[in-house]
Amino acid sequence: MVTRLDIVVIGGGAMGSATAWQLATRGREVTLLEQFAPGHTNGASHGTTRNLNLGYADPTYVGMLAESLMLWETLGAQSGSEQITRTGTVNHGDPVSQADTLAALTAVGIRAEELSAAEATERWNGIRFATPALHMPDGGQLNPDLALPSFQRVATEHGATIRHGVRVVEMTVLGENQVHMVLETPSGTEILEARSVVVTAGAWTSYLIPDSVRLPQLRVTQEQPLHFAPRDAQTGWPGFNHNIVPGSPGFENAYSPVYGMLTPGEGIKAGWHGTGAQTHPDQRSFASEPKQLHALRDYARVWLPGVNADIFTEISCTYTNTPDEDFILDRIGPITMGAGFSGHGFKFTPTIGRILADLATGSGPAPAKFSAGRRAIDPTALSAGSRSAHGPF
């Protein structure tokens, strides 16, 4: 027996949940399929903190930031749960790019101010500042463990069907408005056909998309941030991003820029950005790489005087990376794709859900820079020092 549906979203992480939320609140019929149980830790949408870093100068991302700040507020009002903890965020290490960011944010009404290293140190003495800092008071932290149930609950209240423990094992495009899917469910094999399918499968995207759909290379890595013990529970912590250049004085052992924030009850989270080993999402070790762990502790000893670098808890998560670190938001035939969020997508979740819903319903295009058919650059052309320091957490 074949069940026929209108729109199916595959993948119930952040982006899939936001897409279902957008579609359902527009009155569209939508079914969300997630292979794991609620609250799982196998992907990239778990834990209680993500960095709401506003440090972008690119006009496309700045516009998405402005929209996302409004949509997070909308979700908070609909769900009854405030989504943003506004500790502010502070970026340092690259005064030139910070000046560009200051101008771009100010132009769209997002608050930002430049502080001297001394001023920043006086405000946040848990962090060492050697250069001027960009303070963005509208930034802060987001909570995936709150956001995902909020998106899904509101979507369900508006008629969405959400199914956990259902894995799509085969997907075939039969026509312009017909996608055939084979599902593994707790009760056995099931066949679905849908007019439109949105794939938000994270690290599993490359294994699910049909061969007829070409994407930029997606590289899945296992990342390993740490929660460090704070030395003083009274110290104030903003979200922070340090745009260091590996190999320069003071950063000889650095792997990349560093991001971090306070995770209440767990410590000060800090991590390298996009430097983990390549992995298969179903074959992860969840074990840290010792050299990167040692280097991150060395970083904390020098640049985070407010933590004890000898007391920490390891964390494991995945990035799904594109070569240029820009997202994939596009539609090819009846398949809409949201992928390649490269460790800095979570802050944009409600806007990405809006874009994917527009694509799935034919309501509007995505920004051209997120095209699946864009020319992919050579990953080796991006040096560690030139990577974005947006930070995901």
The pair of three-digit structure tokens given for residue 68, joined into one six-digit string: 């996302």
Distance CA 250, CA 246 (A): 9
Conformation bin of residue 199: beta by default, left when phi > 0, alpha when psi is -120 to 50: beta
* pLDDT score at 248: 77
What is the per-residue DSSP string for 228-263? Answer: EEES-TT----EEEE---TTSTT-TT--S-EEEEEE
Determine the CATH number of domain 2-386.
3.50.50.60
What are the sequence ranges of the domains in the chain? 2-386
Rounded to an integer, what is the distance from CA 276 to the centroid of its chain?
A: 16
| Grouped pLDDT means (10 residues each) for the chain, 393 residues | 96 98 98 96 93 97 98 98 98 96 97 98 97 97 98 98 97 95 96 98 94 88 97 96 84 92 97 95 93 96 97 96 96 97 97 98 96 67 44 42
- Cβ-contact 137, 105 below 8 angstroms: no
Q: Which residue has the tokens 């609950």?
A: 153
* pLDDT score at 109: 96
CA 246, 251, 254, 256: dihedral to nearest 10 degrees? Answer: -50
* pLDDT score at 134: 98
* Number of neighbours of residue 110 by Cβ within 10 angstroms: 20
The pair of three-digit structure tokens given for residue 29, joined into one six-digit string: 């019929």
The pair of three-digit structure tokens given for residue 304, joined into one six-digit string: 């985070």
Report DSSP state, residue 287.
P
* pLDDT score at 379: 43
Q: Is 312 exposed, middle or buried (0-12, 13-18, 19+ CB in 10 A)?
A: buried
* pLDDT score at 383: 42
pTM: 0.95
* pLDDT score at 377: 53
Residue 230, strand partner residues: 307
Angle, in degrees to the nearest 10, between helices 59-79 and 95-107: 60
Q: Using only C-alpha atoms, what is the Rg of the chain?
A: 21
